[in-house]
Each structure stands twice: as C-alpha cells, then as structure tokens.
Structure 1
Amino acid sequence: MKSSLSFFSACAALCAVALVSACASSGPQSASARPVLYPNATLQRVGDAQGQVEVSGCMSRASAAGLSPSQSTNEVGRRAGEGAAVGGVASAVGALITGRGGEGVLRAGAAGAAVGGSAGAVSGAFHNDRPNSTYRSFVQRCLSERGFDVIGWN
C-alpha cells in the first residue's frame, strides 16, 4: 500500500512540475512571445498572414543583428547557491537545537545544503526565461518602419 502511495505522489509531483513549466514558458512575459499587431491600415491592406510573415522577418533581422529574444541571466546558479546556503545553515542549526553534536551537525548541514541547492536550482530554472527588451525594441522598430503598429506581446 505504501509503495503505491509513493508512486502516486511521485506522479502527481511530476505532473505539477510539467504544468508549471508549461505555464512559465509562454505568455507575454516569456522570451517566446510574439508581437501583437494593431489592425491599422497597413495590416488591413496586406492581411494577417502577410503581417505574420513581416513579424517573422523582423524577428529574424533582430537575431541576425546578434540579439536574442531571451535575456540570459545566471538565475539558476545564483538561486542554487542561495538555496544551498540557507538549507545548510538551517539544517545545522536545527541539529544543534535538537542536541545532535559534532558529526550529526555536519551531516545535517550537508544534507540541508544538498536539498536547498537542488530546490534553488529548480527555482532558478523557472525564473531564467526573461524577455530581452533590446530585442523587442528592435523588432518593434523594424515593424514600425514597415508600417505596422505593435500593441503588445503574446
């Protein structure tokens, strides 16, 4: 019975992580967002399909200029380090409070650092996908020069 409960818990946790990561990798605040065009005279004249071709062309131009849609950060490493420090210290202090001395404190600190570092790395991975404002400005200016109005990103 305990084995099936553990299996169910593991499956539920994996599903939750998949759902959260899917949500985190899309939307206007993600690096994978695309410009939304206002239906001005240019878009009405050329049509939605050609408007999307122009969007893709401007995005390609920005990439060719050396810009990336995502702003690279060291969020994963930074959060892993923070998590390891907090987890290690908290576990060591907890071991001291409960009366485990010497080697018990070291073991608890090491275990806490491992768990905290892992949790911090996962957290950092979810926060590492930031849009690059310079890339977005480039794409918007390119589209503006072609007669399109960008009203947001989706």
Structure 2
Amino acid sequence: MNTPARMFAVCAAWAAVALLSACAASGPGSPSARPVLYPNATLNRVGEVQGRAEADACMARAVSAGLTPEQKSNEVGRRAGEGAATVGVASAVGALITGRGTDGVLRAGAAGAAVGGSAGAVSGAFHSDRPNTTYRSFVQRCLSEKGFDVIGWN
C-alpha cells in the first residue's frame, strides 16, 4: 500500500498546504499587516523612517493596552469538530446503505471522522488568522492624534 507514488502524493499534498498557509499569513487581511501612511504634511515633514517609527510606537501602545493584532478564536477546533462529525456520519450512512454490516459501518465512520477532522482543522487554520479591528482602530487613532493619515493596511 505504501508505494513510492503514494508517498510522493502525500508529501506533495502537505507541501501544498504549507505553501498556502504561508501565503495566507501575509497581506492586508492578515494580522501581520502594517498601517500604510498617506504622504500628508506630517509624513512629508518627518520622513518615512520616522513615520514607521511612530507606527511601531502606536502598535506597541496598542499591545500594552491589552490588544493583539489577531482576533482570537477557536476556529481550528470548531472546524475540526464539524468536519469529523459531518464526514464521519456521512461515511457511516454510506456504509449502511451499501450493506457493509456493523463492523464495516463502524470502520467507515471512524475513517470518515479522521478524514473530516483533518480537513476541518486545515480549513480552520486558513480561517483563524483574522485581524483584530479594535487593535487596528487603536493604532489608526494613535497615528491620527500624531498628525498621520492611515489609508489602509499592508
């Protein structure tokens, strides 16, 4: 059963998941995004380097106020549970319909739950990385009070 082709397919699938996870962890919708400053009079006067330093100071101030860049949720666990329940029940029902007997139904249900739980956990990992809007509002207000204009996050 563990042929080189099958092992290669499994490794390729895991590599694809890792690559997609890395891509999902950056960009304007990720918690690692930074404020983008509009080149207004304040930024033009102090320069880009000082503008980044002020943004860093505001982000540190938000963290010291108890905020985090990412919104905390249990998305991975929730989706893993949903996937395990959904695919496990579907597999068991499918085994019942095809007449596999009690032992076959239990095996199909357990295998389906394992596959569904894994798929749900991967799905949850892709959806759990949401930016915290309160954190971003705090940073934007802090920068605004210093004369900067935040036009987005990148």
Same fold (TM over 0.5): yes
Aligned to 1:60: 60
Output the CA distance in 2 between the equivalents of 1:5 and 1:102.
33
Q: Shift of the alpha carbon at 1:11?
A: 3.3
State the match for 1:76 in structure 2.
76
- Tell me the amino acid that sits aligned with residue 39 of structure 1: P
Q: CA deviation at 1:14?
A: 2.6
Alignment partner of 1:29 is 2:29: yes
Greater mean deviation of Cα atoms: 10-19 or 33-42: 10-19
Partner Cα distance (1:15, 1:93) in 2: 32
Question: Equivalent residue for 1:115?
Answer: 115
Q: Give the whole-Å Cα distance in 2 for the aligned partners of 1:100 and 1:10.
A: 28
The Cα of 1:101 is off from its aligned counterpart by 1.5
Aligned residues: percent identity?
Answer: 76
**Per the alignment, do residues 72 and 38 of structure 1 end up closer, same or farther by CA in structure 2, a change over 3 Å counting?**
same
- Distance in 1 (CA, whole Å) between partners of 2:104 and 2:14 is 32
Residue 102 (structure 2) aligns with: 102
1:15 CA drift (Å): 2.5
Letter in 2 for 1:105: V
- Residue 126 of structure 2 aligns with an amino acid whose one-letter code is F
State the distance in 1 between where 2:7 and 2:96 align.
34
Instruction: Give 1:120-135 correspondences, 5 Å limit.
Output: 120-135=120-135
| Amino acid across the alignment from 1:75 | E
Task: Give the aligned length.
Answer: 153
Alignment correspondent of 1:89: 89
Which residue does the alignment assign to 2:4?
4
Q: Distance in 2 between matches of 1:105 and 1:34?
A: 51
Q: Which runs of 4+ in 1 moved over 6 A?
A: none
**Structure 1, gaps ≥5 residues long:** none
Letter in 1 for 2:6: S
Deviation per residue, 1:21-48 (Å, 9 max, x gap): 1111011111111000000010011110
- Please name the residue that 2:144 is paired with: 144
Structure 2: how far apart are the matches of 1:88 and 1:18?
25
Paired with 2:51 and 2:102, the residues of 1 have a C-alpha distance of 68
SS class of match (2:152): strand
Gapped regions of structure 2 (runs ≥ 5): none
Give the alignment's TM-score, normalised by structure 2.
0.95
Alpha-carbon RMSD: 1.2
